[in-house]
Amino acid sequence: MRAGLTSTRVTGGRGGRHTRRFDISFDQSNNLPDLTTPEGYGRIIEVLGRHRWQGEAQIELAYDDHLIFWSTDRGTAQDAYFALHGAKSREPNGWALDFLRAWDASATP
């Protein structure tokens, strides 16, 4: 996991605008279980659930496709998309869609 503090207004993959205060990236080199499995993305949700942050974070899961979305520490995923690192479609599908559903289910008011 890599994290960095920023304060940038960016446009999301679907055209939404976000004030990004925090970047969080996960990739397969982090000695995590396979990111594309329920165990792998469950661990990511577990780790992020133990931390609090102010504002929105840009969160990236870099596997074969790079899933990018924005969220507050307890919110749902906003403007999720695949970066064009060879992705066949910008629309999340497969493991990424499963991850986003699990992330949204973990949101608390």
Cβ-contact 13, 68 below 8 angstroms = yes
Q: What is the pLDDT of residues 60-93, one digit of tens each?
A: 998 777 899 999 999 999 999 988 665 567 889 8
Give the whole-angstrom CA distance, residue 109 versus residue 88. 35
Residue 86 in tokens: 């060879």
Count CB atoms within 10 A of the CB of residue 90: 14
pLDDT bucket at 3, cuts 50 / 70 / 90: very low
Phi-psi category of residue 79: left, alpha or beta, with phi > 0 → left and psi -120 to 50 → alpha? left
Q: What predicted TM-score, i.e. pTM, was given to this entire model?
A: 0.77
Q: What is the pLDDT of residues 6-49, one digit of tens each?
A: 444 444 455 455 565 678 888 876 566 788 889 988 989 998 99
